[in-house]
Amino acid sequence: MKFFVDTADTDAIRELAETGLVDGVTTNPSLINKSGRDIIEVTREICEIVDGPVSAEVVATTHDEMMREAEVLRKIADNIAIKVPLTIDGLKTCKKLTGDGTMVNVTLCFTANQALLAGKAGASFISPFVGRHDDIGYDGMNLISEIRMIYDNYDFPTEILVASIRHPIHVLESAKIGADVATMPPEVILKLFNHPLTKSGLDAFLADWEKTGQTIG
């Protein structure tokens, strides 16, 4: 499974990238707003940090305007993936952009039927929102299972990019189902490291090492 970082915080991206765990980055208008920076400037910096896909989202709602904004965004770097909403105009834009060789991430997916449409439109990535699904009483993981089955049935190359991840269990269940990508905030990635037995084991090793009075090197 690929790990994408869902943030526009370049310091956090850079720190995680040093672990070798970061395969890409996703941003959206809310994350750009949170960064307090210009979208072109911060997206360019992110693309310099990571080699994998960096999703930059259009904010237009019509096909022609989406194409205009996409033209600006995809000039930032070769690893830009244009992010479009799962609407008719969004899928028209997806079809046009992927036909030109541009990566496209179709976002705000909440049903398997929507994912089927995105796959037929040639999306590079589909972003089903599991956390928001859970928030209103639906099973976000069931959505991922349905999309996986449909894409496998028809050999769609579209990658399932699980979004709106809230905790490590979302990551685990997505991996078990066979999702291609999990995009998550930096704090969720850091939680994947945590286990009380890892900490207690390390504390015991260090305590015993101190008793030896030795140093290495």
Helices marked H in the chain — which ranges?
Answer: 10-17, 29-35, 39-49, 63-73, 88-99, 112-120, 130-135, 140-154, 168-177, 186-191, 196-212
73 is written with which tokens?
């965004």
CA neighbours closer than 13 Å in the CB half-sphere of residue 117: 20
The closest alpha carbon to 3, from 210, 193, 138, 154, belongs to 193
Measured between alpha carbons, how far is 83 from 13 in angstroms, rounded to an integer? 19
164 is written with which tokens?
């709106």
Give the DSSP H/E element, type plus range, for residue 106.
strand 103-109
How does DSSP classify residue 86? Answer: S
Measured between alpha carbons, how far is 174 from 164 in angstroms, rounded to an integer? 12
Tell me, yes or no, if 120 is annotated catalytic.
Answer: no
How does DSSP classify residue 167? Answer: S
Indicate which residue of 2, 34, 75, 83 is catalytic.
Answer: 83
CA neighbours closer than 13 Å in the CB half-sphere of residue 118: 33
User: What amino acid positions are annotated as catalytic residues?
Assistant: 83
